[in-house]
Amino acid sequence: MSGGDENPFGELLQDYVLECLPLAEQVADTFVDLERRWRAGDPADELLGSLAGRLHTVKGNSAMMGLTPAQETAHALEDACGLLRRSSEQRTDPAAALLIAGGGLLVDLVRQASPELDPGPAARYVERVRQWMQSEGPPAADTQAERRRTDRRGGGGGGDKADSVVRVDFRRLDALLEVLGEGLIQHSALGEAYRGLARRSGACEELERLDQTILALEKTLKRLESTLMETRLLPIASVFGRFPRMLRDTAEAEGKRVRLLQSGGETPLDKAVLDRLSEPLLHLVTNAIVHGMEPPDVRRLAGKPEEGTIRLDAAPHAGRVVIRVADDGRGLDEKAIRKKAEALGQELRDDEVVPLRSLIFLPGLSTAERVSRLAGRGVGLDVVAGAIHALGGTIDVETEPGKGTAFTLSLPVTLAIIRSLIVEIDHERFALPMAHVAETVRAEPDAIREINHRGVAQWRGDLIHVADGGAVLGTAAVNRAPRRFYVVMAAGGKRQALLVDRLVGHQDIVVKGLDPALGRPDVVSGTTILGDGRVACILDSVRILEGGRRAG
């Protein structure tokens, strides 16, 4: 394949692979899960629902890069999932097999990320999906012909981009942050040990010195933290910079004239925030062009300049960063939104307090009258809102008919992110900080024995206590499910295993606090919003480990 040096898309293709490959892989994994759950008679609605946003992103980004086979495969999968979401009768083995085949194909296409790929496999797959859909239900709203209009862009660059890209610097920063986190935990353990010691032995000179040293250590760690956080900041222009080209292409495809004005590109944000921000921002800007902007002739008749304006402004505000995406288009059709929301089952009374902003972010709410290549396939602002929420941000909307629409995002400058293992216990999801996860083990039936009314198992030559997750969390009484795995947790020399039902995956989660109304639960240290918008509790592994020892 040709080298990437003279290829203007080279870097963008690398970004594309970095962003889309994990999504495609998640989609492919989810299909496998679906097959298993359907076989078990579980409709798995939430899994199907979780696919839409990822497929939409892969499709949109592939279209942006001119990678038609990947785009069409993602599109076909979207159609198939859409049909399956509407009708549960079709959730059968053949359907799952079709999805799984498509998932594998999509992963391959995204990984290769080459405009020169043989379009054959994708075309054959799209045809397979089309035939399946015709035999299973009403045809999709859009036609093959519309999709074929997708222009092919030139440019070389091929090969396996995922292998050639290593973002060494930032990973090292991440690793540093992790080490710092461990340091902070060890510091608090040291403080606790000091207080215990002081209670026992009373004041003495050595204790005094220890106290001073622990205080000094805290200051050092804090300084390390703030320096590290600063190192991770990048100007938001690194995300904004991707938009002009994409805006031009989208506007052209839509037959619209749009200019982009930007300000505040120098505003610093943690790279981890930036990385997760580009997708929702892209979505908002695409929406503004596709839905917000009127065609030039309509604008002329309305007495507006034919060329529409989209403003992208960022500014620091009260320790957070506020980003505004504003267009001077037609504004949101509040009536249509309320009607659509009602159709979705949202009962609305005139006197009920239902602000527009709590409707527009509803799942499945899209007022687009037609389907287009880049937007308007029922994946709406709920996906954007979900992504922003998962970042610890908020999103709000203002709109005025005929004048335009503005979305305001407020985001934290840095994230309290912890790498976590998401587990399921009695149908509820919990996050376990990876810092204290030593290993996950499949719970074979005879691996756990009972000694003195406590479950124990062999682990690395030792006997460790195996506690039931449901019993620790009090969920077993509500909705007991079978335990299939145990997670070995280790911290401060203590080890214990927790029985769980399912390992959902690893995820960087944003830590949120506990409302005072929740009291002070022993086993929960905070909450987080998962990718699907649901709230999950973060388990306090250290406290659980301590409880385990106390009980023994």
Partner 1 sequence: MPVEERQIKAPLLGFADAMEARAVANTAPVPGPELHLLTFVLEREEFGVPVTQVREVIRVSDITRVPQAPAHVRGVANLRGRILAVVELRSRLGLPPADLTPRSRVVVVEVRGRVLGLLVDAVRQVTKVPEASVVPAPEEVISADVDYLRGVARWQSRLIILLDLEKALLPTE
User: Which stretches of the chain bind partner 1, using CB under 8 A?
Assistant: 345-347, 349, 351-355, 357-358, 361, 385, 388-389, 392-396, 428, 472-475, 478, 512-519, 521-524, 527, 529, 533-537
Helix (H) or strand (E) holding 254: helix 243-254
User: Between residues 133 and 537, which has the closer beta carbon with respect to partner 1?
Assistant: 537
Q: Is 539 helix (H, G, I), strand (E, B) or coil?
A: strand
Contacts of 45 (CB under 8 A, 6+ apart): 85
User: Between residues 75 and 436, which has the closer beta carbon with respect to partner 1?
Assistant: 436
User: Between residues 81 and 538, which has the closer beta carbon with respect to partner 1?
Assistant: 538
Judged on CB neighbours under 10 Å (0-12, 13-18, 19+), 104 is: middle
| Least distance to partner 1, CB of residue 539, Å | 9
User: Between residues 462 and 515, which has the closer beta carbon with respect to partner 1?
Assistant: 515
Contacts of 60 (CB under 8 A, 6+ apart): 282, 283, 286, 374, 375
| Least distance to partner 1, CB of residue 317, Å | 16
User: Between residues 17 and 409, which has the closer beta carbon with respect to partner 1?
Assistant: 409
| Least distance to partner 1, CB of residue 430, Å | 9
Compute the distance between CA of residue 71 and CA of residue 59 in angstroms, rounded to an integer: 5
CB < 8 Å & 24+ apart, contacts of 42-51? 43/88, 43/91, 44/91, 45/85, 46/532, 48/81, 48/84, 48/85, 49/85, 49/363, 49/532, 50/531, 50/532, 51/27, 51/77, 51/81
| Least distance to partner 1, CB of residue 189, Å | 23
Compute the distance between CA of residue 226 and CA of residue 409 in angstroms, rounded to an integer: 24
Contacts of 108 (CB under 8 A, 6+ apart): none
**Tokens in use for 546?**
């301590």
| Least distance to partner 1, CB of residue 304, Å | 31
User: Between residues 160 and 522, which has the closer beta carbon with respect to partner 1?
Assistant: 522
| Least distance to partner 1, CB of residue 349, Å | 7
| Least distance to partner 1, CB of residue 2, Å | 44
User: Between residues 311 and 357, which has the closer beta carbon with respect to partner 1?
Assistant: 357
Tokens 């696919």, residue located: 51
Phi, psi for residue 96 in degrees, rounded to 5: -65, -40
User: Between residues 354 and 438, which has the closer beta carbon with respect to partner 1?
Assistant: 354
User: Between residues 447 and 523, which has the closer beta carbon with respect to partner 1?
Assistant: 523
Q: Is 324 helix (H, G, I), strand (E, B) or coil?
A: strand
Residue 451: strand pairing partners: 454
| Least distance to partner 1, CB of residue 385, Å | 7
CA 360-363-369 angle, 5° bins = 65
Tokens 């590290």, residue located: 228
| Least distance to partner 1, CB of residue 405, Å | 17
Phi, psi for residue 423 in degrees, rounded to 5: -125, 160
